[in-house]
Each structure stands twice: as C-alpha cells, then as structure tokens.
C-alpha cells in the first residue's frame, strides 16, 4: 500500500536546514507520497523534482479576509504550490482553536484546492469514542469534498516517546472511518505521535494509511530512512 508520509517541522529549523532538506528530498526515490510542512517563511526554499513529493502548510486561515494580521490565506499558499494543510493540530487547539473554527478552515482549504490533513486527538489514554465521533462530525460539518484525510494524534503521544498499541490505533481508525462513511465521506486515516525509525515497523502493522511526524523530522537520517520505507 502506498503510504502518506507527512513531516511536520513545527517551529524548527533554519535556512541551512531547509536548503539541505530540499537537496536531499530531490535525491529521494520513494514509492510513498511525501508531504513536507515547513514554517511558512521557508516555503520558497522548496522546488521538487519528484512527482510524489508535495508541500504542506502547518495551518491556514479560515477566510480570505485581508484585514487579518498574522494569517496566511489560500491564494498565498497556492503561489508557493502548497497542496496540503495540517488543520486542527493539538498544539493549535491548545492555543484556542475551536471545533467550529477548524470546520471553517477545512471548508476554506477545500474550496481553494488545498487538501486538509485534519488532526483528531484524545487527551487521555482512555478511548473516548463519543469525543472522537464529535470531533469527526464537527470537522466534516462544512466540508464539501468527500475525500478527506484525518490524522489520529493522541495528545499524550505527541513528542513524548510513548505510543498507543496497534490495537488502540486500529480501534480509533475504525471509529473515524465509520463516522466519516456514515456521513458520506471517504476518509484516509494517518497516525501521528512519536513515530520514529525504531518504532516504524511496529506502527506500520496498524491500519494507518500513513504517518504524521514531528520530532523525527528534525533527524534527517532517520526521517529519510522512513521515507525510503527503512
């Protein structure tokens, strides 16, 4: 199965780092789809030669409003050939992004040809199905394009080195897919949270159709091992 491998660089790196990433990615031979999500200011460093490598943003505005200090709209992202956008990451939810705002961002991205990668979280290790279902329903409430990408990212697994079991990942993926399907959507579901080269084989046993990776994105040797399928 062809996977979606997403590198979320968060607020890390510098000019030299991203120049290096661009150089390395252009030497990459991977059968998977690779999506690199650098901070906005470093996007101009990326020019891809491979057909299966894409640029993604870590966020997007919810509206084309020109009076919106600090935000980046879809037209700007389109100018830099950005095809994907991470929406509703738990670090942004923690900064006050509501389910309503996230639904608007998903709608806005889709209307403007940008594919949302919607993060769905769980705050505790206990599997709270109702909470997951509500997040999925809300995310899809304004969505028009029936093909949608979700990333299951338990908050406690992000950057902690701790991961849920394959069984847990599979259960949540089933909940997300079933909820989406009942609403007429076809969901691709990724997993994110402490994925690295050592546990890649184990998480690959799950039903996840790809991975959203933070910390490991900064360790280029490990990241490229994952991109090459290890």
User: Which residues, 6+ apart, have CB-to-CB distance to 139 below 8 Å?
Assistant: 88, 99, 102, 103, 106, 118, 120, 148, 150
Binding window for ligand PGA (CB under 6 A); candidates: 36-44, 58-66, 127-135, 187-195:
187-195
Residue 140 binds to ligand PGA (criterion: CB under 6 A): no
Does 193 bind ligand PGA (CB under 6 A)? Our answer is: yes
153 flagged as catalytic: yes
- How far, in Å, CA of 7 to CA of 185, rounded? 25
Cβ contacts of 229 within 8 Å, gap of 6 or more: 30, 31, 32
Q: Which of 74, 102, 172, 213 touches ligand PGA by CB under 6 A?
A: 213
Using CB under 6 A as the binding rule, whether residue 214 contacts ligand PGA is answered as yes
Catalytic, out of 89, 91, 97, 222:
89
Least distance (Å) between residue 157 CB and ligand PGA: 6
Task: Select from 153, 154, 169, 227 the one that contacts ligand PGA (CB under 6 A).
Answer: 153
Q: Which of these segments, 23-31, 68-76, 201-209, 210-218, binds ligand PGA (CB under 6 A)?
A: 210-218
d(CA 84, CA 49): 17
Q: How many CB atoms lie within 10 A of CB 150?
A: 30
Nearer CB in complex with ligand PGA: 60/75? 60
Q: Which of 212, 222, 223, 224 binds ligand PGA (CB under 6 A)?
A: 212
Question: Which of the ranges 26-34, 131-139, 179-187, 206-214 carries the binding residues for ligand PGA, by CB under 6 A?
Answer: 206-214
Shortest distance, position 7 Cβ to ligand PGA, whole Å? 9
What is the DSSP pairing of strand 82-87 with strand 115-120?
A: parallel
- Asked if 158 touches ligand PGA (CB under 6 A), the answer is yes
Q: From the CB of 132, what's the least distance to ligand PGA, in Å?
A: 17
Q: What is the CB neighbour count within 10 angstroms for residue 15?
A: 10
Measured between its terminal Cα atoms, the distance across the chain in Å is 15
Catalytic residues: 89, 153
Residues making contact with ligand PGA (CB under 6 A): 8, 153, 158-159, 192-195, 212-216
């Amino acid at each position: 199965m062809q996977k979606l491998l997403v590198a979320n660089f968060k607020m890390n790196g510098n000019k030299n780092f991203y120049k290096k990433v661009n150089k390395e990615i252009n030497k990459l031979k991977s059968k998977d789809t690779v999506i690199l999500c650098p901070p906005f200011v470093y996007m101009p460093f990326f020019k891809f030669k491979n057909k299966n490598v894409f640029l993604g943003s870590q966020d997007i505005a919810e509206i084309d409003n020109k009076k919106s200090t600090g935000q980046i709209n879809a037209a700007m992202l389109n100018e830099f050939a950005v095809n994907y956008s991470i929406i509703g990451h738990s670090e942004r939810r923690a900064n006050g992004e509501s389910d309503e705002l996230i639904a608007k961002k998903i709608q806005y991205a889709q209307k403007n040809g940008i594919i949302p990668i919607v993060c769905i979280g769980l705050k505790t290790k206990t599997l709270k199905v109702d909470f997951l279902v509500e997040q999925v329903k809300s995310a899809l409430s304004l969505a028009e394009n029936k093909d949608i990408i979700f990333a299951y990212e338990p908050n406690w697994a992000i950057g902690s080195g701790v991961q849920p079991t394959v069984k847990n990942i599979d259960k949540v993926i089933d909940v997300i897919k079933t909820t989406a399907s009942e609403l007429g959507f076809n969901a691709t579901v990724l997993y994110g949270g402490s994925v690295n080269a050592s546990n890649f084989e184990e998480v690959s046993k799950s039903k996840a159709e790809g991975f959203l990776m933070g910390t490991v994105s900064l360790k280029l040797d490990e990241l490229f091992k994952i991109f090459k399928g290890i």
